[in-house]
Every structure is written in structure tokens, then in C-alpha cells.
Structure 1
Amino acid sequence: MTFESFDFHAHGGLNSETFCQFLVHCARHNVSDIFIQGGGPLVVDVYGRKVRASVFRVEPPQLQRLMDEVFSEQIKGELKAGRGIDRTLQLTGDMAQRHGLARGERLRFRCNFVQATIGDYDTVPALTLRTIPTAIPALESLGLEADLFPYLLPHKGIGLVVGETGSGKSTLLAAIYQYCALNDPDRKIVTAEDPIEFLLNFPGAVLMPEQSEIGRDIPTFAEHLRLTLRRAPGVIGVGEIRDPETLSGAVMNGQSGHLCLSTMHTNSPGETIPRALMLVPEGQREAMAGNLLSNLQYVIAQRLLRTTNGKRQAVREYLVFDDHVRHELGKLPYTQWRNWIDNHLAGLGRRMSDIAWRLYREAQIDRRELLTVISAREIARREATT
């Protein structure tokens, strides 16, 4: 894995324009994240590996000037008040090929600003930028399992894509929206995101998706779900289910005959329902469990594992809630659902650990990466039985 450094000196030093050129350079060299800390060098993430992208350090005053010029002078005051900020940065080319972009070419970055103590520096700004690919990949190109693909766009209910930060949840959902817009044009797509990442801009679609940003267009995910039913939606996107109001709204939308797609920060289908139920008061959990069982269409847990060829590969553990699964879970108290789901997927050899083990045996991932999925004891057990 190599990253071609950007020569700031040859472009006139570090300033707002060369910084934007650097961002374009990163996007074109498969950089997923860019890390800028007051008093530290520029660092980038390429396929999950951190690489220094500058020989010089960005001093705090210099970083502050960049933030003022590229983003907004208001950010400084927000950070001093102890408030982190999430923003989206869009770079657009013009006739003069501004930032090195062709006319009409656009790049987007999700940006997070915080104030922190870093090394010898106290209360300095730190900026993390996530590259948002311009082109949404075709759903067919993501290597989805054949028995999962047909279930991604049911008529109604709830579909969840879960996983840790940076696991490709947003990419998978954007690909689903794109597939729907181009292949099922009678379904209007409306989403709420925090912030908007992929632009759902599909010129070939009959009706363009409507994307709302939390804090700019609408106050909360729950309010989005309440208002969306008046907009004749076919597919409703919710950036994340993270409070009881949003969970209840998703259930209500599913019950009313709409498809609601969202995410959660869980690591497996078995973990997802218990985590969702923890959002509601204990006395309401049994009723909510019943609502989830009747409305959930699928839970897809995804991770990106670093491969031995220097890239990354998506691996998935998923459960489609068909009639058999609903029947079996319906016979059990909801407190036993996680065990049943885990055992069911283990019996099929479809746990994340099973997939990672096969990749390891095929030398597609190394032992260090395997240990991010399976414990050393479990590796020893598997090695002893093979």
C-alpha cells in the first residue's frame, strides 16, 4: 500500500486553496479519512492504514486560519464553548478547474471538529474528514449474498444495517436507494441524515429522492418520521435509530405500510433487538419486542476487514425475518431471542467469526486482523479441530 504525497511546497505552501487541492488529491488516492490535529502532521487513512501525509506540522494558529477560511469563523467560538461540530464540505469545479476539479465535478467530505489536549498542546482544534465517494456504487457490485439481495426492498417494514463506525453502512444504504430509484420508480424516497453524506442525485430517476439534514431542515429523526407520512413516501430513510421516539416512529411507519431503512451501532443481528429494546422503558419492552418481530424484515451487520493485498473487504452477518424465523422467535420469550438468532446463524456457518475464519484460512486476512473478530482462545479451539 502506497500513498503519493501531495507537494505543498510546489503549490505555494499550505493555505486554503492548496488545502482544498490536498483534499481532492486524497479523494483520488483512495483515502477514506483525513486527520488534522493542531501541532501535528497531516495523516490519512488508506484502506484502514494510517499514513503520514506531510513532513511538516500544522501549528494551531495555522489550522485555525484554515478552518476560518475553508469552513466558517463561527466554528472557533463553538469549539471554545466546548461544543463539537459536524459539517459537510462540498468542493465543486468550475471552468478554471478550481481545486483541480473539472467543471461540474463535485467532492464531498463529512467533517467533525473538536477541541482537545493533543501532546504538548492544550485546547487545540482537531479536524477529521471522511471522504464521501462521488459515485454511489451499483448495488450489484457490492458482493451481496445471493439469498440476501432479493429481500432488500420489501413492500413495508423495517430494514436495519448495523455495524461500527466506518463499516460501510452509509454506502450500502445509498446503493439500495439508488437501486430503488432506478428500478422501482413508483416508490418515492425520503431520507433524514445527520449530516447528509451521499447526494442521491439520480438523473435517470422519475422522481428525485428528498434528503433532509438534521439541524438544518428538520430538528430530529423522530420528527422526520412523523412528518414523512404526509409526503406519500415509498421508502423512508432514517440516519440512525438512537432514541425511543425514533424507534417508535420507525415501527409506526412500518405498520402503516411503508419501508423504513435505518442503522444502529450494533455488531450482530442477535445483539440488535436487545439493544433496541434497551431504548424503551422496561415496562414497554415486551410490547415493543412484538412490534419489532412483526415489522423487522432484515438485519445486516457489516464490517470492513483489512486484507493481505492492502485493501479491505466487506463481510456480513445477516438475518432475514421470514415466516420461519418469526414463528420460531414467537415461541420464545424475547429475552431468549438473541441466543436463538446467534445459534441459528452459527448452525448455518454465517456468523461474522465463521466468515473471518474462512478468509484467514484462505490467507486473505492475517492473524492480527482475525483477532479483531475472534478471540485468541476461539482461534486456538478452531485450530485444534481442523
Structure 2
Amino acid sequence: MELKELLNKMIDIKASDVFFIAGLPISYQSGGVQVRGEMAPLMPADTKAVVQGIYELAGRNIAIFEGSENHDEDFSFALPGVGRFRANVFRQRGSYGAIIRVIPFGLPDPKQMNIPESVLRLSEVSKGMVLVTGPAGSGKSTTLTCIIDRMNHQRSGHIITMEDPIEHVHSHGTCIVTQREVPTDIATYSEALRSAMRESPNVIMLGEMRDAETIGAAVTAAEMAQLVLSTLHTTSAADTVERIVDAFPANQQRQIRTQLSLVLQACVAQQLVPTKAGGVVPVFEIMTMNTAIRNLIREEKTYQIDSVIAASGKAGMQTMDQALYAVVKDGTVDKDVALQYANYPEALERRLKQA
């Protein structure tokens, strides 16, 4: 099967990722379940041919990868009439390998993605910083895409996205949407942020806050009355605050705590949890800022944030463990599975037993 034909098939069966690894048949992931093809395992020559085919489809020079000191490369490409794809090519055990993320044309439907209205309403925030966090592959980009799409149809202004690579393509709605790919359109996130501040932005979406330089630039942008959206690989709001603070030297941490307490408007942490039906469901921790949480961040008492969130259900907040409790009680997720994803499994288990 030709690579283009295979990718078309992956779109049809709603695969999320396709794996080309020597020693395994072509494999893919759908609904959180890994499926291995029926054909013979790929040999190193096969995976090399696949990687070459990917570069041909993307119209890129494979010498960029073959000459890379890091021995891997990320990029996106589109096939007309088929879809968009995000490729990661790499070396492993002396052979080439590739994983392709499948991105159908069009934007995700938040209802089909089970993104709650309380998360989508973050599109109404006008300034400061909104963070969507979670492990790799938990749907952070999809959630941000849905929030931006709602902004693009309910408000006006200039939305600038900085992504590595670009996944979903936004058309211009009531907003002007500019999308820049790192490093194709601009070298680094921090450089893209500095450039964006000269481009009359109202909303800046930063694909990931990777280091202190990028975090500092994002916080500064949020202080200048821009709305900054970004992601981190953390599983709770409290962990997110500590991860940001710990990115800075000790002599700067008090200052960043103060800045963060002022600019942070909301933090959504999400995980994809396996369901009883064999699929996955997104589960969200939702924190929106209030005076108590701002004080806890300033006073280095982030360990108390979970308690404030848990007690603020009427304000639309919920902890990760409260969200897991809800999907167990409604029969979507098995109790033992929920405990594996809980931040405080012992406390969640006690609550489930008492229910």
C-alpha cells in the first residue's frame, strides 16, 4: 500500500497515530487502543523508505533530518483532499523510524471531544494567562483549538498562534488569525513572542512553555494586557504553578510568583482516561483564579490550592479527583482505572467507598 493511500485509510478509521518501527508491522492507535497490522514486520530498509516517502509528500529536504545532530525532526504537512499530518522522524537501534499524528481537515467538534462548556467559556477571558496542561497526547492542543475557534467566531481582534508544528488550520472568522510554525516560520518560541508583541495581538497562543526564557516572555506579554494561551506537561493546577516557578533561579522565584499570581486567569489540567466501553474520555481539572488562590501562589502555599478548588464547585471549579469521581459514578470509567489516574488515589478510594 502506498503511503498516501495508507494515510487516507487512517483518516477513514479515525486513527490518531500511525507507527513505522523496524521489527513491527505498521501499527496505529485508535480510541486509545493500539492495533497492529496484519502485514509482515517492517525491516530497516522498509522504515527508511517510509521516511523518504514522508519527506517527499511533505516537500521537504531529507538532508535536514540526515544531517541533524539530534537525529530527529518534527514537521507537519497536508495532503489535498485527505488531511493534515504531524510527523516525527527519528533513529532507533540504527534504523529509521517515524510516527505520524493524523489530523483530519476541519476543526474538532468540542461536543464530540467531550470538552465541557466551563472550559470553552475560557474563550471569554480578555487578558492575562490561561494554561491547558496534561501529559503528552492528552488532548491539550485539541482543547486550545476549540477555545480559539470559539474566540474566532464570537469576538474580534488579532489571534497569533505559535506552534511546533502547526496542527489545525484556522480560517479568518470575526478575528484575523495568524499562525506561525517553529522553526519553519520563526526560529524559537521566545523569538516568536518578541515578534508578536509588534504585531498588534489581542490573543497569543504559545504551543508550549519550554524554558525560563519563554515563560518569562509569556508572563511579560500577559502583563501587557494581552491574553496568552499555552500548555505545560503537568497534571494539576498546583503542579503547574510549581513547574513555572522552578524553571527560574532561586533569586527570581519570588518575583515570578508575584507576577503569576497577578496574570494567571485559569488553569485546566486534562487526562485521557480509558472507559469501560474500550475508548477514552477526557477528564478535566478546572481552576479559575480568585483572591484565595492568588494569595496562596504569592505566599508559597500552592499545596493548599486543591482544597480551594474542591470547595469552589459553585464557581465552576473541580479537582482532577472530583472529575474522576464523577466518571466512575456515572458508569463511564472503572473504579480501578480512575484510581490509576488520580492525584490522591487513597482519598478518592475512600470517597468511592463512602458513596
- State the TM-score, normalized to the length of structure 1: 0.83
Give the aligned partner of residue 27 of structure 1: 11
- 1:334 pairs, out of 295, 299, 323, with 299
Give the aligned partner of residue 96 of structure 1: none
Deviation at 1:115, TM superposition (A): 1.1
Give the aligned partner of residue 66 of structure 2: 77
Give the aligned partner of residue 345 of structure 1: 309
Give the aligned partner of residue 354 of structure 2: 385
Deviations 1:284-315 (A, max 9, x none): 11111111111011001111112222322111
Q: Identify the range of structure 1 (265-274 vs 126-135) with the bigger mean alpha-carbon deviation.
A: 126-135
| AA aligned opposite 1:107 | G
Contact 1:305–1:313, Cα closer than 8 Å, also in 2: yes
Deviations 1:194-243 (A, max 9, x none): 111111124xx255411111111111111111111111111111111111
Q: Distance in 1 between matches of 2:50 and 2:231?
A: 33
Give the aligned partner of residue 328 of structure 2: 360
Give the aligned partner of residue 113 of structure 1: 89
Q: How does 1:205-354 map to 2 (within 5 A)?
A: 205-321=173-289, 325-327=290-292, 329-330=294-295, 333-336=298-301, 338-348=302-312, 350-354=318-322
Q: Distance in 1 between matches of 2:54 and 2:185?
A: 23
Q: Using a 3 Å threshold, how does the CA distance of structure 1 residues 348 and 294 change in structure 2: closer, same or farther?
A: closer
| AA aligned opposite 2:6 | F
Deviation at 1:166, TM superposition (A): 0.9
Deviation at 1:170, TM superposition (A): 0.6
- 1:189 pairs, out of 155, 159, 180, with 159
Q: Distance in 1 between matches of 2:234 and 2:72?
A: 23
| AA aligned opposite 2:24 | G
| AA aligned opposite 1:157 | G
- Alignment length (residue pairs): 345
Q: Using a 3 Å threshold, how does the CA distance of structure 1 residues 75 and 21 change in structure 2: closer, same or farther?
A: farther
- 2:78 pairs, out of 69, 85, 90, with 90
Deviation at 1:143, TM superposition (A): 4.2
- 1:124 pairs, out of 92, 95, 98, with 95
Contact 2:11–2:82, Cα closer than 8 Å, also in 1: no
Which of the pair has more CA radius of gyration?
A: 1
Give the aligned partner of residue 199 of structure 1: 169
Contact 2:33–2:279, Cα closer than 8 Å, also in 1: no
Give the aligned partner of residue 97 of structure 1: none
Q: Identify the range of structure 1 (257-266 vs 369-378) with the bigger mean alpha-carbon deviation.
A: 369-378
| AA aligned opposite 2:329 | R
Q: Helix, strand or coil for the counterpart of 2:198?
A: helix
Contact 2:28–2:36, Cα closer than 8 Å, also in 1: yes
Q: Distance in 2 between matches of 1:326 and 1:376?
A: 28
RMSD of aligned alpha carbons: 2.2
1:159 aligns with 2:130: yes
Q: Distance in 1 between matches of 2:174 and 2:293?
A: 41
Deviation at 1:107, TM superposition (A): 0.7
Deviation at 1:77, TM superposition (A): 1.9
Gaps of 5+ in 1: 1-13, 93-104, 118-122
Contact 2:162–2:205, Cα closer than 8 Å, also in 1: yes
Gaps of 5+ in 2: 56-60
Contact 1:190–1:235, Cα closer than 8 Å, also in 2: yes
Q: Using a 3 Å threshold, how does the CA distance of structure 1 residues 77 and 366 change in structure 2: closer, same or farther?
A: same
- 1:59 pairs, out of 24, 34, 43, with 43
